[in-house]
Amino acid sequence: MIDDLLQKKPIPDDVILAADAHWMRLALAQAQQAAALGEVPVGAVAVLNGEIIGTGFNRKETDLDPMAHAEMIALRASATAVQNWRLIGVTLYCTLEPCPMCAGAMIQARLPRLVYGARDTRFGADGSVVDVLRAPEFNHRVAITSGVLEEEAAVLLQQFFQELREKRGKT
């Protein structure tokens, strides 16, 4: 691996996938923090040069803030960390397909790459509901990898809503 890097050989696809899964696991851990607060479990982790520069989890209920999505919080933390609203070289890992607001923020931040897990048929802005991220009219294009640890992210959400329904059923 290090020899490959020194010789500037392209990094094999399976190595890239392993790295994506690694960071996605940390995004899932963020989502679990949201669940612990009774929030819809969505998490995000921003990575630059192999280091986390920003994290976030959904805090809409806790903060009474419609904009407190995991991605927004992670993007803001990243901009503070690099002292630049342009997130050059940053990859954002999200457990769920971003909504139109977060997708818009990614374009505003000139985010180079997004990796996400499960699709969101209610709010997804990577084609599930609307296609914000691939709109050719924008002068910035985010490279997208989807479906990374999709199952884990979806199960987390399903469990959350299942428990919510059970709680509501009891009262």
* Closest separation in Å from C-beta 100 to Zn ion: 8
What token pair was written down for 170? 């009891």
How far, in whole angstroms, is CA 79 from its chain's centroid? 15
Q: Which residues, 85 to 124, sit near Zn ion by CB under 5 A?
A: 99, 101-102
**Considering the complex, what minimum distance in angstroms separates the CB of residue 98 from Zn ion?**
5
Which tokens hold the place of 89? 């070289």
**Min dist. Cβ of residue 65 to Zn ion (A):** 12
Contact 31, 40 (CB under 8 A): no
Interatomic CA distance for residues 18 and 43, integer angstroms: 19
Asked if 69 is part of the footprint of Zn ion (rule: CB under 5 A), the reply reads: yes
* Residue number with CB closer to Zn ion (99 or 132): 99
Selecting among 71, 137, 151, 166, the annotated active-site residue is: 71
Q: Which lies closer to Zn ion via its Cβ, residue 66 or residue 169? A: 66
DSSP 3: H
Return the SS3 of 73: helix
Nearest residue (CB) to Zn ion, 59 versus 69: 69
Give bridge partners of residue 91 from the DSSP assignment: 47, 113
Residue ranges in contact with Zn ion by CB under 5 A: 69, 99, 101-102
Catalytic residue numbers, as ranges? 71
